Structure 1
Amino acid sequence: MMKRLLLYIIILVSLEGKAQNFTGRVENMSGKPLASASVVAKGDGGSVVAFARSGQDGGFSLTIPQGKEAKDVEFLMMGFAKVVIPLKDYKNGQTVRMSEQAIALKEVKVTPQRIREEGDTLTYSVAGFRQKQDRSIADVIAKMPGLEVLPTGAIRYQGKAINKFYIEGIDLLGGKYAMASENLSADKVKSVQVYENHQPVKALKDIQFSEQAALNLVLKDEAKNVWQGVVDVATGYGDNWLRDARLLEMVFGRKKQSISMVKANNMGKDIEHEVTDLSSFDKTAPTESGILSNISLGAPSLEPQRSKFNDTYIAATNWLFKNKKDDDLKLQLTGLYDRSHQQQNRQTIYLDADSAVIAEEQSARSTRSEWQAELLYKANRDNHYLSNTLKGYIDFNKSEGLSMLNGQPTPQYVEPRKRYVVDNLELINKLKNGQSYSVTSLFSYSYLPGTLLLTNDSTQQLTQQTLYWKAYAYYQHSIRQVKLIWQAGFETKNQWLALSDKDRYSEYQPYIEPSLSYREGAWSISLNGRLSWLMRQYQKKNSQNFLAEPRLFIRYSLTSKLDISGSYSYRWTPSDITTITRQAYYTDYISCQQGSGQFENTTGQMASLGLGYRNVMTGMFCRLTSG
């Protein structure tokens, strides 16, 4: 009898020592779930014992730690009346309904701040950072803590490239955002917002987290929904007629946005980056890189405006329309015409060969005529995402030059032409249970007909073609705080190289790519690994490789201002037809290259460790990275 009583006491003590867990659901009076409602367990004297928030479906899980006692559980949410339930009366799994209640706000005195923080959004006041000499909004952004503007026009936050550039919350320009940042007057912008850890796909919010930030320009009221035009002309005369001109029109509304411009410059200023895609985060099929290129003699280590002899013209028009469902229809047309003149003189004296002298003189005139078009349709909703982008490119580039080697002239001529078409399709659906699935197709065809003049006055006709296609699907679900994605796909690439003969190289690669992400409290962890079977063919040769390519990212917030992060990745890259082909081909008028005829590859490992500090109140941002 005493043994049985002792056993009951031990069981009772162990049950009392365990943590208690309560679950339930929070709704409004109409039965709709309330997300982000606070659920607080309180003990004697109103002390907080445990805390939780409701999810998107209104569900919550509240754990009272071992050794803690709670008397009541409170449900709070802005705009709703507080609900208090004694813990002894709360039934595990029950539904709690909250009624709406107006909140009377006390009169407050607002003191303007240069930087404000609200959740994952930082708001920079343009008036707080702008100086008299600042003309474009890019000039002001460059002065904002944590942000930097590179000479290429690319914008970084905390050392990482931004993944989106919005104007009034709308992505008009995609990766060609330098058209806006370097041409929109700073006096038209009220504030610059940084969306930290920005996930641009609404259906993936709280499912896949991002380490990149996005930028949003908040315009002043007088700059919204009105057509604006700018005409700037600067001219002069030196050895030639000098010019720097700009014609610009723009409008920014909630249903329509547009930027169109024409620019001309022959004073060494780089304006072509304004029509260059600066983003690398959008899913897109790759295009082929050409073997041939325009003649380049190299540039001295001086500012381009001191050494560059250019004659550049760019033209662009960008239009975005939103329909009644808030879907996007976007058209982008860009063109670049550039003529440059290069000269180089070099003399080499060999002291150990009877002071032999080799004198070289080179000159080149290059013309670039490049034209791009992009048409995009995008539906970005909370439970559905559909995007289709069609791109096309064509150029008429050429170079001609003269090389003098010890007085012997050698003419040069090259036409490194390129054309391609790309289509990117992505569909994502989010299910009612919070799970989601996606189907993606990426396609590209590249055609590069090249002509090169050789030293013996013969001409090399070299044609490259590449057909690329990648299709994959994934299914996403959650286990507690861990997000799991199961992806499977197929990737193929066919390359042709035509000289005297026509070589073909092919890759076929089925793969699976599971990934998991965890984000809770101070921790953010992302791990994925691609397992693939790579089959390669060249002429009558075949090769097969089983590949494993892992990637890991970890970040831990030591405090609200200080975080530490680390990453690791391994990459296995097969060589393409340009390093495999047994046909000898010239890359310029004197350089010849021939592949090994064997399947080759390169591998790379990358590891990094970073420490970041961010204090919004003082405006101090710092990040140290090694790796």
Structure 2
Amino acid sequence: MNNSKQFFLFLILIFVVFTGYSQKEITGQVFDHQNEKLSGATVLISKDSVSSILAYAISDVDGKFKIAVETDRDSLFLKVSYLGFETFKKTIGNEAQALNVKLSPSSQSLKEVLVKSEIIQQRGDTLSFSVAAFKGKNDRVIADVLKKLPGIDIRPNGQIYYKNEPIQNYYIEGLNLLEGRYSLANNNLSVEAVSKVEILENHQPVKVLDSLEFSERSSINIKLKKDVTLSGTATAGMGAAPLLWKTNVTPMIFTKKRQAIVTYQSNNTGNDVSGEIRNFSIKHSGSEFDIDKTDWLSIQNVSEPPFRAERWLDNNIHLGSLNILQHIKEDLDLKLNISYLNDYQQQDGSTQTRYFTPTDTIDVIENTNNAIFVSKLEGQLTFENNADKNYLKNQLEFNGFWNANRGFIDRPDAQIKQQLDNPFFGIKNDLRLLRTLGKQLITFDSNTGFTATNQDLLVQPGQFEAIFNDGDPYGEIRQLVSSKKIYTDNSAGFTKALGKFTLSPKFGFSIQNQQLDTDIFLENGEEVLDSDFKNRNQFVESSVYFKNAVSFESKDETWNLSLSTPLEFKSFRLEDENFEEQRGLDRLVFEPYFYVKKKLSAFWDANASAGLSYDFGKLQQLYYGFLLNGYRNLNRYNAPISEETQQNYSGGLNYRNPLKQLFLDASYSYNFTENNLLYSSNIGENGRTILEAVARDNSFDNHSFSAGGSKYFRKLKTTFKLNTSYNLLKRQQLLNNTMAEVKTRSFTLRGSVDAEISSWLIANYSGTSSTYTSGFGERDFQQIETQQHMIDLYFYPKENQYLSVSGEYYENSLSENGDNYFVNLGYQFTFSKPKMDLNINWQNILNTDAFTKAYNNQYYYVQSSYRLRPSQVLATLKFTF
């Protein structure tokens, strides 16, 4: 690998210095060629003919309009359009004025689709969606409406995407109460309490950076109808086959000074409420250390089906969460987020795994029955002062797990018990400070944390007999792992504006000390003393860095550019008491990154990026001694510290037209990676795998393409969404001591339709089609095609009740029983006083008891059959207030 490779990116652009804003009000009236007043004409104001829209209005019944404009431009561009007339375009002065606009008839159809009411408003970089315009009869919480909005996509895990990118923050009345755990509000905030959903494009959450550093990310802000809002949900349900229960009590209060969301949820119906507290936060630069749990050991699990958990999850879950925000004074907030999760799950199924090597195929058949115990406590205390001239955010976070797993595997040649105790504790403090000093902004960041885990895996009978017991069977093998990590990263710098340029140099250092102790014991407590099966590692990673960033925004806001040029000296030291050899590595790395965004017109924009990055070995890929990761996986990495160099290139094109309610996007990315280590997998006849690292230079490349679009048809009250993606990956792999180039290709097409067909019928459809192909070199050894289709029909015989029928179809080309069908039936009656829903739902009418899934992964494929929940009936009473 060439570690001295350099990457140069060049930036030259000069523009005029930023000046202050003042607001002007432009009024006027629109007439046709016969001096008749035109109602519903669209009036747009922008900086010029290609810039984004600053503001717009719709003429009233008298043809009148009024627009407030805030910009420093001397002139503005006015555009007035109406169906059947030529578009009026004129450059006007940036001053308060009254205009009379006369439109001439057009012999050609207009390109614009005109909006007769403001279901979507645009003001600068903010899009406002009217909730009332998109709300359907069976929508109860804000998530029901969000999934219909064009440009917005809610993924199966609950994460929200806008224009195919994850949102940065989720605000309620401008306050970030949940700090990334926004599913709790999304799934429980009553839609009746919300007036608008705002998309904050190019959103900079730190006020003091707003005019200094542009952001390409977007956030969501939920606007409520009242200054004081009491909302939430309360649900109670009972059912049978077996005895079922469901409880959800989630009260909320939102005022100018305080916000609070409290919840208790419990069920055994398969609803995985742990997703309510999943954290989707996007960390700021310099906050790389996290206290996420590391699983060194695991038991063999059955692959989960690719549909909602209510169909397959056999659970008994309890969740409690308290979230409070106190607005102490202007720009100063104190937040507490704490939650506890307790869950017991049972998994029952079978798996057939086929390994493909350049010389042979190996089959493994396993029938699995697992019991999973999850106990998790997490909390976060946040103090934030987000003012115009200063910023301070201190976040103290802790995380504790007390997990235990039990498993039983029935194979044709053996019966195997697994037992795993997997506790974990982590705590960290993240401080960020920005303060104005003269004409520059002083910045300081500090991130310090500690984690610890002690994991214990017991397998009966013992495995890898040839290695541990001279080929003879033996009773049990136990793997113990103890790992601790302490980390600190501290930096200081400043941010200064020079005209339209912003400079942000930063100096800092980081130190991470990680310890790993592992031991293997056989039956009767016999310790394996061979140093090849022990680890006493201490791994120290330290760095000193200078990171400089330059950003530019043109005066007309059509160009945004940024260039970061970090220079970092990294040092790695690994010591193991069991081995005399020590590993060390010192590298001076330069990791430039360049990003550019160009507004092509009011509706089109394009972006491109290029970057060079380095990644060095973590302790998870550095230990000398063998580690029994799972009952048939024995791993070690007795090789030099890994070094990986990545070149990343990407480009994208976006179109968003709020007047037509049309959003389109397309992107392409290419990644080329060079490594100094190659990983060798030796797979035995029974699927037991020994993974080792080999010092050998290699490379792989990855091509990715995605495109998507969404459109709201107002007359049809229908939202249509379509997305597609393609990925091509090539990499080298050592399989049973034979070199092979593994190639994978995947293609996915996703679509959905939400339609209110008539006053008595609502239909929702979603579907996914995918193809995954893998092979060696030019030879494909496996291709798998999958189809997923879901349709929901809601029939309204009366305004306050509906009958629902839903069907699901899943097809898998590799499965012996590849077709799976599900049918569900529901009835809901809505009481007006008090406002509540009585719902009776019959799930899995066909009593489909197993689902067969197959998937590829580079050099093997897995066909698994998962035991599903039986046919069941559940009655719930739900209040949404």
Whether TM exceeds 0.5 here: the answer is yes
Map of 1:393 onto structure 2: 399
Indicate whether 1:152 and 2:167 are aligned.
no
Task: Flag the 1:156–1:548 CA change in 2: closer, same or farther, 3 A.
Answer: same
3-state secondary structure, aligned to 1:187: helix
Find the aligned partners of 1:364 and 1:617 in 2 and give their Cα distance.
53
What TM-score, normalized to structure 2? 0.57
1:98-134 CA-to-partner distances (Å, cap 9, x unmatched) read xxxxxxxxxxxx9741100011111100011111121
Tell me the CA shift for residue 364 of structure 1: 0.6
Tell me the CA shift for residue 308 of structure 1: 2.2
Task: Flag the 1:301–1:227 CA change in 2: closer, same or farther, 3 A.
Answer: closer
Amino acid at match of 2:329: K
Indicate whether 1:532 and 2:568 are aligned.
yes
Map of 1:563 onto structure 2: 605
1:312-334 CA-to-partner distances (Å, cap 9, x unmatched) read 22111100101134411100111
Task: Flag the 1:492–1:622 CA change in 2: closer, same or farther, 3 A.
Answer: same
Map of 2:234 onto structure 1: 231
* Structure 1 segment 76-115 matched on structure 2, within 5 A: 112-115=117-120
In 1, are the aligned partners of 2:573 and 2:583 still within 8 Å (CA)?
A: yes
3-state secondary structure, aligned to 2:565: strand
* Structure 1 segment 572-611 matched on structure 2, within 5 A: 572-611=614-653
Find the aligned partners of 1:556 and 1:24 in 2 and give their Cα distance.
19
In 2, are the aligned partners of 1:295 and 1:366 still within 8 Å (CA)?
A: no
* Structure 1 segment 425-444 matched on structure 2, within 5 A: 425-433=431-439, 435-444=440-449
Find the aligned partners of 2:189 and 2:307 in 1 and give their Cα distance.
28
Find the aligned partners of 1:194 and 1:385 in 2 and give their Cα distance.
23
Q: Mind listing any 5+ residue stretches in structure 2 that lack a counterpart?
A: 1-14, 25-46, 49-71, 76-91, 98-114, 356-360, 463-475, 520-534, 576-581, 670-881
Amino acid at match of 1:287: I
Amino acid at match of 2:166: A
Map of 1:86 onto structure 2: none
Find the aligned partners of 1:206 and 1:169 in 2 and give their Cα distance.
19
Tell me the CA shift for residue 76 of structure 1: 6.7
Tell me the CA shift for residue 358 of structure 1: 6.6
Indicate whether 1:616 and 2:658 are aligned.
yes
Indicate whether 1:519 and 2:553 are aligned.
yes
In 2, are the aligned partners of 1:516 and 1:527 still within 8 Å (CA)?
A: yes
Find the aligned partners of 2:151 and 2:560 in 1 and give their Cα distance.
21
Task: Flag the 1:367–1:24 CA change in 2: closer, same or farther, 3 A.
Answer: closer
Task: Flag the 1:360–1:159 CA change in 2: closer, same or farther, 3 A.
Answer: closer
3-state secondary structure, aligned to 2:566: strand
In 2, are the aligned partners of 1:358 and 1:406 still within 8 Å (CA)?
A: no
Find the aligned partners of 1:152 and 1:332 in 2 and give their Cα distance.
20
Map of 1:341 onto structure 2: 346
3-state secondary structure, aligned to 1:273: helix
Find the aligned partners of 2:255 and 2:193 in 1 and give their Cα distance.
14
* Structure 1 segment 248-397 matched on structure 2, within 5 A: 248-282=250-284, 284=287, 285-287=289-291, 289-293=294-298, 295-346=300-351, 359-397=365-403
Tell me the CA shift for residue 245 of structure 1: 1.8
Q: Mind listing any 5+ residue stretches in structure 1 that lack a counterpart?
A: 1-20, 26-33, 39-47, 50-59, 64-73, 80-109
Give 2:245's match in structure 1, choosing from 243, 246, 249.
Answer: 243
Map of 1:67 onto structure 2: none
Map of 1:490 onto structure 2: 509
In 1, are the aligned partners of 2:232 and 2:250 still within 8 Å (CA)?
A: yes
Task: Flag the 1:496–1:35 CA change in 2: closer, same or farther, 3 A.
Answer: same
Map of 2:184 onto structure 1: 179
Give 1:405's match in structure 2, choosing from 382, 391, 411.
Answer: 411
3-state secondary structure, aligned to 1:274: helix
Tell me the CA shift for residue 589 of structure 1: 2.2
Find the aligned partners of 1:575 and 1:349 in 2 and give their Cα distance.
30
Find the aligned partners of 1:619 and 1:75 in 2 and give their Cα distance.
30
Find the aligned partners of 1:347 and 1:193 in 2 and give their Cα distance.
48
Amino acid at match of 1:545: R
1:548-605 CA-to-partner distances (Å, cap 9, x unmatched) read 1111111111111011111122221111112111122111123111112421122322
3-state secondary structure, aligned to 1:587: strand
RMSD across aligned C-alpha pairs, in angstroms? 2.9
Map of 1:499 onto structure 2: 518
What TM-score, normalized to structure 1? 0.80
Q: Looking at secondary structure, tell me which structure has more strand per residue.
A: 2
In 2, are the aligned partners of 1:122 and 1:193 still within 8 Å (CA)?
A: yes
Q: Looking at secondary structure, tell me which structure has more helix per residue.
A: 1
Task: Flag the 1:249–1:201 CA change in 2: closer, same or farther, 3 A.
Answer: same
Map of 1:445 onto structure 2: 450
Map of 1:508 onto structure 2: 542
Amino acid at match of 1:172: L
The answer to which structure, 1 or 2, has the higher relative contact order (CA under 8 A, 6+ apart) is: 2
Find the aligned partners of 2:353 and 2:223 in 1 and give their Cα distance.
58
3-state secondary structure, aligned to 1:397: strand
Map of 1:82 onto structure 2: none
In 2, are the aligned partners of 1:332 and 1:375 still within 8 Å (CA)?
A: yes
3-state secondary structure, aligned to 1:244: strand
Find the aligned partners of 2:354 and 2:591 in 1 and give their Cα distance.
50
Task: Flag the 1:330–1:323 CA change in 2: closer, same or farther, 3 A.
Answer: same
Amino acid at match of 2:546: I
1:61-111 CA-to-partner distances (Å, cap 9, x unmatched) read 999xxxxxxxxxx997779xxxxxxxxxxxxxxxxxxxxxxxxxxxxxx97
3-state secondary structure, aligned to 2:620: helix
Tell me the CA shift for residue 270 of structure 1: 2.9
